[in-house]
Amino acid sequence: MRNLIVIVLSFCFGAKLFSQNFTSSNQQWIHYYSQMDLSTKDRIGFDGGYRWKDACSEPALFLIRGSYWRKLKPNLSLGVGIAHTGSFSNRDINTLELRPYQELLYLKKKEKLTVQIRYRLEERLFSDFHEATANTNRFVLRNRFAFSYTFFIMKPFKKFENTSLHFFVGEELFMNLKLNSETNWFDQNRMMAGPVLKLNQKLTLQFVYNFQFASAVEVNTFRLTHVYWLSLRHSLDFSKKETTE
């Protein structure tokens, strides 16, 4: 039911979107994720990424993030983390953001299908830099609802039994808590799909096409972005040592 609600909302936003003004652009993202299982219940993570726009001609954003997770049930985890980002304008940093967050994650793995549902609450603290003016600080609360499915396709190499090919589809909706009249409650929506190559138990390579649209500062104006997203995921499991000792 939750997934159905998100899909319906996405189509509603899409219908509204194409009746308004919009601008279109493209971005290219690279990202590295590292995850370490410290025990059967505790996990820490680190990730970082860089984004370009207009066919890698200009920088768009950098991001670094750290997190800690505690497993509440076999398929349910509670996490906390903090992210630091910087966005660029004319090759100079225009905005810095500090983003603490809390997250509830449902993850269920079957033989040929992985289902993930996530809710995240973010506290976003901005420092905006403008030419010939002092810094201006802003605070925004944002909700993120996401779900994804990863389907097994095949084992492409007979000699490498641990290598497998999958396909990923996902949806993520970003909604602000309206603290003042200048904040739009709708922030952005992402629709993602692409191949996933699991190289072995520790390394996964993923290439995703991400079509996203976001509200702009101007009223009734949206930004459409075509994103090509390459990521590498590295997983380490120290919980096995715990069970064998």
Global pTM value: 0.85
Q: Select from 207, 243, 172 the least CA-distant residue to 29.
A: 207
Beta strands in the chain (DSSP E): 21-37, 42-53, 58-73, 76-89, 92-109, 113-128, 136-154, 164-177, 186-198, 203-215, 221-237
pLDDT at residue 133, as a whole number:
52
- List Cα–Cα distances, 215 to 47, 129, 220, in angstroms: 26, 21, 8
pLDDT at residue 181, as a whole number:
64
The string of pLDDT tens digits covering residues 5-64 is 444 455 445 545 454 688 899 999 999 999 999 999 999 999 999 999 999 999 999 999
The string of pLDDT tens digits covering residues 129-164 is 765 454 567 889 999 999 999 999 999 888 888 899
Residue 239 confidence class, pLDDT cut points 50, 70, 90: confident
Q: Which of 74-88, 109-123, 169-183, 184-198 has the lowest mean pLDDT?
A: 169-183
Instruction: List, in sequence order, the alpha helices (H) in the chain.
Output: 2-17, 239-244
pLDDT at residue 178, as a whole number:
75
Domains, the chain, with CATH or none = 2-134+146-216 (2.40.160)
Burial class (CB in 10 A: 0-12, 13-18, 19+), 81: buried
pLDDT at residue 241, as a whole number:
56
* DSSP tag of 219: T
How remote is the C-alpha of 63 from its chain's centroid? Answer: 11
Inform me whether the pLDDT recorded for 173 exceeds 90.
yes
pLDDT at residue 11, as a whole number:
47
